[in-house]
Amino acid sequence: MPNDECRMTNASGCPSSLALDAWVLDGRKETDPLHAHVKSCPRCTAQIAELDHASDVFRRDVFPATVGKVVRLSRKVPWYERIFAEDHPFKLVYTVPMLTITLILLVIGLVQLPFSRNDAPQTAIKGTLGLTVFVEHQGSVRELFDGETVFPGDRLRFRPAVPADGFLMVVSVQENGSVNLYYPPDGDSAMKVAAGSEALPGSIVLDESTGGERVFVLYSSRMFSLGEVKSAIQSVMSFGSVEGLKALPLEMKQATTVFRKEAVK
């Protein structure tokens, strides 16, 4: 990924949007050769006008409405700071009663815990299942986004966000319908995991095969088998490509991403 200035021109002789953006961000220096070009080029002048208009709208409407959420999501802040944030949905007025109720429930739970240890399974699942995929390509690691391309020899690593203690499986479906079990690394059943967001041990090294591949991370509060998952995949594979296969007909939480494998970079 470059961090240098892009000063190349395209077939029309104009700098790209990227180069123009870099010039604007750099303070529209008059000493830059782009300055003279923009002044004499109606096409580039229009590009800059479009950016200026978008900037005005952003500063007037978008920034004030979104900055709180952006800062909150970008910062790793303690929970007590988040809940007291001005634009937090629970705000201060709800916080004190909520903390009181939580405390009472906690005390009741602690009192009853020794007597209810063998009761019904703790299957209340809150939150959503998430999946982040990282790819290591020629020594550099980055997040792999949906729809991107990978190459033979690339290593993939998975970091699911698990909502509660339960059972997890990671499988992939190739365009030809074949199914690979990525996690657990062996066996034919889902692995028991704890709530949280930890990278799964080990990584997948991609072979020479090419084409689309979709990865599913599957989570349930009950144990489930690879056979069950394969049956579900086979029942829907005929309806389209892996890109269109956004969910499996299984009663469990699912997160998915798709990528394409190409032979040469």
Partner 1 sequence: MDASEIEGLYRRLGPFVYRRCLRLLRDPEKARDATQEVFVRVLKNCGHIRDEKGYLPYIYRIATNHCLNVIRDGRFETPAPPVEGPKTSTGPVQESSADLERILRAAETSLDRQCVEIAYMSIVDGMTQDEIADVLDLSRKTVGRKLGKFRELVGRFSNAE
Interface contacts to partner 1, rule CB under 8 A: 1-3, 5-6, 8-10, 12, 14-19, 21-22, 25-26, 42-43, 45-47, 49-55, 57-59, 61-63, 65-67, 69-71, 73-75, 137, 142-143, 145-149, 212, 241, 243, 260, 262, 264-265
Nearer to partner 1, 136 or 165 (CB): 136
> What number of CA atoms fall less than 13 Å from residue 22's CA on the CB side?
15
According to DSSP, residue 175 is labeled: T
- Closest CB 161 distance from partner 1, rounded Å: 14
Short-list 166, 226, 162, 225, CA closest to 199: 162
Beta-strand runs (E) in 138-264? 140-144, 149-150, 155-162, 166-174, 179-183, 191-193, 196-197, 204-205, 211-220, 253-261
Q: Which single residue is written with the structure tokens 């299957």? A: 123
Report in angstroms how near the CB of residue 154 gets to partner 1 at its nearest. Answer: 11
| Residues making up the chain, counted from first to last | 265
Q: Which is nearer to partner 1, 101 or 145 (CB)?
A: 145
In the bound state with partner 1, the residue whose beta carbon lies nearer, of 45 and 231, is 45
Nearer to partner 1, 133 or 229 (CB): 133
Eight-class DSSP state of 60: I
For residue 123, the minimal CB distance to partner 1 (Å) is: 30
Residue 211: CB minimum distance to partner 1, A: 9
Give bridge partners of residue 242 from the DSSP assignment: none
Residue 143 C-beta: closest distance to partner 1, Å: 6
Query: Which CB sits closer to partner 1, 148 or 165?
Result: 148
Question: Residue type at 198?
Answer: E
Closest CB to partner 1 among residues 135, 200 = 135
Contact 65, 83 (CB under 8 A): no
Question: Minimum Å distance from CB 74 to partner 1?
Answer: 5
Concatenating the DSSP letter of every residue in 44-108 gives HHHHHHHHHHHHHHIIIIIHHHHHHHHHHHHS---HHHHHT-TT-TTHHHHHHHHHHHHHHHHHH
